[in-house]
Amino acid sequence: MDIDKKILDDESVEKLTALKNGYVLEIVEKYTKLCKPSKVTVITDSEEDIAYVRRLALKTKEESKLNMKGHTIHYDGYYDQARDKAHTRVLLPKGKKLSKHINTIDREEGLKEIEEIMDGMMDGKEMLVRFFCLSPLNSRFSIPALQITDSSYVAHSEDLLYRSGYGEFMNLKGSKNFFYFIHSAGELDKNGCTKNVDKRRIYIDLEENRVLTVNNQYAGNSLGLKKLALRLAINRSNNEDWLTEHMFIMGIKPEGKGRTTYFTGAFPSACGKTSTAMIPGQSIVGDDIAYLKIWDDGSCHAVNIESGIFGIITDVNPVDDPLIHKCLITPRELIFSNILINDGKPYWLGMGCETPDEGKNHSGLWKRGNKDAEGKEIPIAHKNARYTIRISELENVDPKADDVNGVQVNGIIYGGRDSDTNVPVAQSLNWSHGVFSGASLESETTSATLGKEGQRAHSPMANLDFIVVPLGKYIENHLKFGKSLSKVPLIFSTNYFLKGEDGNYLNDKIDKKVWILWAEGRVHNEYEVIETPIGFIPKYEDLKVLFHSVLGKKYTKDQYERQFSLRVEKLLSKLDRIEKIYSEEEVPEEFMNHFERQRRRLLEAKEKIGKEILSPFDF
């Protein structure tokens, strides 16, 4: 390798050449010359190497120790607190076309721009060369991933969130079949945070299975294996015969039945994804990203590609989230980000106790009443503040969380959020209708969300921000996937946010456990259903028993009727909204036919029953 030994020492060269992979050497050499670090350190799977990264994060002050053993705090900077959608772009070669919702830039133009920004960007800094694996090791799901970064925080985070993959690269035997990610936090301020956020860029190159990302530290922008790898895997899976989804994987365990039934679930932000995956008494395999493949027996298997959780910490408290909260207040390797620290102790929004009036947070030194440059009062912590831990730290981790074969998926949940349209839970008529339901997901804005309250954002499969292939191709791949299965998972839709005329929710937070257990029972043919124009819904008698046995609650016919009545005009309006979006895409005819079929079923039921709102007792 044509790199000065003062920058890349013999030990690191030996670690690289042992892989016998010329493509890896080519990448490291190219970006060392471009970014011009003062030192390059190659990290293997050894505990000694990984411990070096932890120490380096403290040395560079990207992280600081807290009072609790193993806990550290990291700050991303005041203007680097979330995914940067505007500057996340797919590099589009001339002549290629993508859906209009995908943010693109001409590939040649984008590469020229970002490489100019990267030129000399690591001057005076240490470049870390990391090797990871997306999914359990030595699995048919496995995708090796090379991460090059000058951020020890990024490298440390990935140790918590992903499986070490130096050995996986050895097994490649020189193949180029891996993803790679080049990241630089850029120039840092006195707090160890990125300074030049105006030059933040996240460019996705599908031609080379790589992402180039600069001038950021927030994990959604900087950690290659997180949402950046999600986009690369969506591209790969949609050109093959499997699915890459923004889904949790959980084991549902009905009491007294001695079984675990595995479900995946896709929910847009603020629609109940985490709270569903962490329902008491159930087990968790993963909370964010899943690969789904067709197994030898024709069933659907899924793996969590991660081994950790990068979770939102806002509102985590001992009452609503006892398992996670316990992890956050006991010794273990854990990174907090963008919360308040006072006297070595962490504080965050909604933690369920009194918080100090001063300390250090994402804005720097903070006192209650402080305002930012725009005149907005700065809260004690950012609402998107996070914690990073290994999933194995959770008491409810499923024993198959690291199984190379994944888990057999028998149910899929698509969860939306609206106050006046969809029922709390329904089963799709078949796989194709389930794909239609998932691709029609909407999330309603609330008073806690930017924008006007009550507006509905379309989010197919809760994955819109990450789909880098034409929307029609993405949907077609889902339809084909189901047709290739001989053991087809049932598909359900949920809506935990239905309100009555008085503006109050018709469901309690804990009711979701009943909806999920009913869905699990349907997989095993334990409950009869009512067929309606939108799908199969539960019978009152079954829910009445479940509410009593699971929650110790009385469930009345009036509650059931209010929750499971079909609001025909609202459902027709939704069909119109979603159909308009897809009419501008090249979408399979099989999918588009569902609009007219469901519209016709609703109108026929309305005419037959003679009401605008159809009671479940009418069917």
Cite the active site residues: 271
**Cβ atoms of residues 144 and 178 within 8 Å:** yes
H or E element in which residue 518 lies: helix 512-523
Query: Cα–Cα distance between 275 and 480 in angstroms, integer?
Result: 31
Q: What is the DSSP code (8-state) at residue 489?
A: P
Residue with tokens 């590609």: 305
Instruction: Return all residues near 118 (Cβ < 8 A) that are at least 6 apart.
Output: 31, 34, 35, 182, 184, 212, 214
Torsions phi, psi of 514, nearest 5? -65, -45
**Cβ atoms of residues 183 and 204 within 8 Å:** no
Task: List alpha helices for 95-135, DSSP H.
Answer: 107-118
Q: What is the DSSP code (8-state) at residue 497?
A: -
DSSP 3-state of 559? helix
Torsions phi, psi of 459, nearest 5? -145, 80
Pairing mode of beta strands 283-286, 248-252:
antiparallel
Torsions phi, psi of 554, nearest 5? -85, 135
Q: How far is CA 3 from CA 9, 39, 40, 137, 182, in A?
A: 9, 10, 10, 31, 18
What DSSP letter does each residue of 374-416 carry, written as one string?
A: TSPBPPSS-TT-EEEEEGGGSTTB-TTTT-TT-EEEEEEEEEE
Torsions phi, psi of 550, nearest 5? -90, -40
Nearest to 161 by CA among 403, 397, 385, 334: 334
What residues are paired with 414 via a beta bridge?
266, 493
